């Protein structure tokens, strides 16, 4: 899903910074892209091996945030507020929403014990979930497809002209 966004940034030779083109959360009539405001370019992207949660965790640790596609169709996801999210009805194949995995951790639950999770940033505003984030179950059969279609861009920061992403190595 996100590979098309990376290709768009590559083909258009960059993307504006947020000051020049802020996120408004609604469709605009016309694109306001201005080449003079380009903050970074995309030199390519790395697809993480499909369904490989170990590779996703390595990319998060070594590279940083990773774009992931998930199944967000369950009402339990849509009305998530807190805790480690796990829903057996969540599909690992029917993916309908792009989000950003930004890290991972472990929570202690007095009943369930240790619960591994990914920290995932959603785009539905800070009013959704836990201030715009969800703790998605980790190492639990690819919960909601979190590692089915994961990738990250190879980005060059135009302000410092240095590469800020590393190629994932199998």
The CATH number for 148's domain is: 3.90.70.10
What pLDDT is stored for residue 29 in this prediction? Answer: 75
Residue 29 lies in a domain: yes
Tell me what pLDDT residue 160 has.
60
Stated as kind and residue range, the H or E segment containing 57 is helix 53-62
Full-model pTM: 0.86
Q: Is 17 contained in some domain?
A: yes
* Tally of domains within the chain: 1
CA distance 155 to 40: 7
- Report yes or no on 169 lying in a domain: no
Confirm whether 168 is domain-assigned.
no
Are the C-beta atoms of residues 90 and 71 closer than 8 Å to each other? yes
**9 is in which domain, residue-wise?**
3-162
Does residue 144 belong to any structural domain of this protein? yes
38 in any annotated domain? yes
Phi-psi category of residue 59: left, alpha or beta, with phi > 0 → left and psi -120 to 50 → alpha: alpha
The pLDDT score that the predictor gives to residue 159 is 67
pLDDT (mean) for 24-51: 88
CA 123 to chain centre: 10
**Averaged confidence pLDDT in the chain:** 90
Q: Is residue 167 part of a domain?
A: no
Inter-residue contact 136 to 85 (CB < 8 Å):
yes
Domain contains 46 = yes
Label residue 168 by pLDDT band (50, 70, 90): very low
């Amino acid at each position: 899903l996100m590979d098309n966004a990376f290709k768009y940034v590559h083909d258009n030779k960059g993307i504006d910074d947020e000051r020049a083109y802020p996120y408004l959360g609604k469709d605009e009539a016309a694109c306001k892209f201005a080449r003079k405001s380009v903050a970074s370019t995309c030199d390519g992207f790395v697809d993480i091996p499909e369904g490989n949660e170990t590779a996703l965790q390595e990319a998060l640790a070594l590279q940083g945030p990773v774009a992931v596609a998930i199944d967000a169709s369950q009402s339990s996801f849509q009305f998530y507020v807190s805790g480690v999210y796990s829903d057996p009805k969540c599909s690992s194949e029917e993916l309908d929403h792009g989000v950003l995995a930004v890290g991972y951790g472990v929570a202690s639950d007095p009943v369930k014990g240790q619960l591994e999770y990914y920290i995932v940033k959603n785009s539905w505003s800070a009013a959704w979930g836990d201030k715009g984030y969800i703790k998605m179950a980790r190492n639990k059969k690819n919960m909601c497809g979190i590692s089915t279609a994961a990738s990250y861009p190879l980005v060059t920061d135009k302000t410092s002209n240095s590469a800020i992403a590393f190629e994932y190595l199998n």
